[in-house]
Structure 1
Amino acid sequence: MSQPNPSTTPFKAEQTFLAYNQTQAKAYVHGRPDYDRKLYDAVLQYHTSTNGQTDTVVDLGCGPGNVARALAPHFTHALGLDPSPGMVESARAQGGVSATSEPIRYELSTAEDFGCHLSPPVADHSVDLIVAANAAHWFDMDRFWATAARVLKPGGSVIVWTTGELRCHPDMPNCAAIQTALDHMQNTELMPYFNPGNILVRTRYAGLVLPWQLETPVPEFDQKTFVHRNWDVGEGFDNELPEVDLDRYETIMDTASMVTRWREAHPEKVGTEEDYVRRCRRTIERLLNEAGVEKGQEKIKGVMQGAMLILKRV
């Protein structure tokens, strides 16, 4: 099946997470593993080692706020922005404070508007670090880069990262057969519910539009210092244990936006044995049992890869 090219597909705002209520946001928190401390350390090390200051950090597409809470203790001020009311409510409920014990501020805003409507608004040249975790593939990059250049201080950083696909670990019993079966189900059933943002995640942001690639380039970002780092097996991208039971596998899969869209198209199958995620689980169970794993003892050992893009404002 042909796949859209994110760099040439007209921007369409993401609607799945935008429509999340607080209950769905709580389920998202439970289903998504946080990032490994090594990843947060890499963000801070790069930003500060390239003369980035530590006054203000802004987490775009902050969701329930885990990234803002991890980075806030290293900054004087911290702001989380998300266009989903349910996500912002969830983030506010969990709170968090900065290095000066100032509460993290969570507000409704798109990445492109960047809090321009807030009181007070985010001022020009006031932000030291902009981060976006598993969110930049939903941004209108044509508008985002110009906004980022406006709000960042000279020497400020934009650091965005994404997971790739969750793959079966080679040590898992019947790994090849399980991966082949899951790939077939995804390609034949789930692919119609992928959008360009999901494709960007699959390619680990290989096609994310950068400021110098725009029809009208944004010259404030230095292409010479651009870094695209891939995170591979064993490098500490997220802190999920490498082996989880299949109940946990289902909760992780439940948070995928394309799964949400599949369920919206098949409401009569949600929560039944015909649910897409449940059928993935049964396939894994069957193939593990064929490899000698006892019923009730099935676990999946996954490999989560990722990528990080780092840009500096001149």
Structure 2
Amino acid sequence: MSTSFSDHFKNVSRQYAESRPTYPPELFAWLAAQSPATGHAWDCATGNGQAALDLAQHFQQVTATDASAAQIGQAIRHERIDYRVAPAEASGLAAGSIDLVVVAQALHWFAVERFHAEATRVLKPGGVIAEWSYGVLTVEGAEVDALVQHFYHDVVGPWWPAERRHVENGYRELEFPFQPIAAPTFTMRINWNLERLLGYFRSWSATARYRENCADDPVAALAQRLRPVWGVPELERKVCWPLALRVGRAAASG
């Protein structure tokens, strides 16, 4: 895995902010309950601040960092969130200052060993780290879902960065040097109309790379195929993503 930062979302940061699905609220309540305290959480690679906003409902202070200035520029402001441009491997946070570290859909972009060393440095004794990813979506309706799967795997599939495989396998190949905590199963579910779904596809890094290299808009072509089988455009269909979550605890002092 590359140790240098490549901003795969710089050209789609606004679309990313407008189109990404949200995480289950019960996930953050459960993580807060596992933490030694609810004073200070670090949302690493915050993107547009989705996870940070949920953390702010449970923690007194949230530091949300991202190596992409474009992403931070799109983040939603909150009085308890301090947004900073910083790489995952060098947060600038004080040692032993953090109760909970979260990484939502971003670990595959990191120099993982260096990031885990940084997380170990900033966590309080007994502090908690949670890393999660969500894989390939499914959309209600067999004909619709077949077109979506074809788009993901075959149309833009060749343009996914190599790191994408770690999302698809739930980070199983990546190290995790923390004491594991058994976690419940969480699933992301949302009802979207056709335009919201198409907006999500436009936010993909693979879509951006396809457009840059092929001078064509693959989402426009997909839209033409989806509209006849979707129903009225305002119709909302259930969209689901499996959430792969791993949670661990830093060593206690002494």
8 A Cα contact 2:24 2:186, kept in partner: no
Mark the CA change 1:282 to 1:228 in structure 2 (over 3 Å): closer, same or farther: farther
Aligned 1:28-177 pairs, distance under 5 A: 28-47=16-35, 52-91=36-75, 94-98=76-80, 104-115=81-92, 122-169=93-140, 172=141, 175=142, 177=143
Q: How far apart are residue 112 of structure 1 and its match?
A: 0.7
8 A Cα contact 1:59 1:67, kept in partner: yes
What residue is the counterpart of 2:239 in the other structure? 302
CA distance in 2 between counterparts of 1:147 and 1:97 reads 26
Query: Any idea what SS the aligned residue of 1:196 has?
Result: coil
CA distance in 2 between counterparts of 1:28 and 1:180 reads 24
Is 1:201 aligned to 2:167, yes or no? yes
Q: How far apart are residue 208 of structure 1 and its match?
A: 3.0
Amino acid at match of 1:281: A
Runs of 4+ with >6 A deviation: none
Q: How far apart are residue 198 of structure 1 and its match?
A: 1.7
Query: Any idea what SS the aligned residue of 2:7 has?
Result: coil
Query: Any idea what SS the aligned residue of 1:279 has?
Result: helix
Q: Which has the larger radius of gyration?
A: 1
CA distance in 2 between counterparts of 1:301 and 1:79 reads 33
Q: How far apart are residue 90 of structure 1 and its match?
A: 2.2
8 A Cα contact 1:231 1:306, kept in partner: yes
CA distance in 1 between counterparts of 2:241 and 2:150 reads 19
CA distance in 2 between counterparts of 1:284 and 1:41 reads 37
Structure 1's unaligned 5+ residue stretches are 1-8, 99-103, 116-121, 212-220, 270-274
Superposed CA RMSD in Å reads 2.3
Query: Any idea what SS the aligned residue of 1:195 has?
Result: coil
8 A Cα contact 2:44 2:102, kept in partner: yes
CA distance in 2 between counterparts of 1:188 and 1:64 reads 28
Q: How far apart are residue 281 of structure 1 and its match?
A: 2.2
Query: Any idea what SS the aligned residue of 2:103 has?
Result: strand
Query: Any idea what SS the aligned residue of 2:152 has?
Result: helix
Corresponding pairs, count: 251
CA distance in 2 between counterparts of 1:12 and 1:198 reads 16
CA distance in 1 between counterparts of 2:240 and 2:18 reads 19
What residue is the counterpart of 1:6 in the other structure? none
CA distance in 2 between counterparts of 1:152 and 1:202 reads 28
